[in-house]
Amino acid sequence: MENRSVWALHGLTGGLIATGLLLSILAFLTVSAMSVQRANATNYYKIQDEQSIKMISVDNKKHLVDVK
């Protein structure tokens, strides 16, 4: 009995489709990561009032100011 399903891709054809799909996902994620890195590479922060920063405190985030 033969399997004549549309989704039944075996052998070389299925391997090539899977490889192409994985490579396209890899290319998309690489381009996305590069654009995020490019956007954040020039995002500088300034620390205000360094002397009042405590070692363990949730209020430390108030000392970081986005320069842009």
State both tokens at 53.
């920063």
User: How much is the pLDDT for 5?
Assistant: 64
| Arithmetic mean of pLDDT, 11-23 | 88
Mean pLDDT value across the chain: 84
State both tokens at 4.
């004549």
Name residues whose C-beta falls within 8 Å of residue 63's C-beta, 6 or more positions apart in sequence.
Answer: 47, 48, 49, 50, 52, 53
User: How much is the pLDDT for 26?
Assistant: 98
User: How much is the pLDDT for 12?
Assistant: 79
With contact defined as beta carbons under 8 Å apart, do 9 and 17 qualify?
yes
With contact defined as beta carbons under 8 Å apart, do 63 and 47 qualify?
yes
Q: Higher confidence at residue 31 or residue 62?
A: 31
Query: Tokens 């899977």 appear where?
Result: 18
User: How much is the pLDDT for 36?
Assistant: 93
Greatest extent of the chain over all pairs of C-alpha atoms, in Å: 79
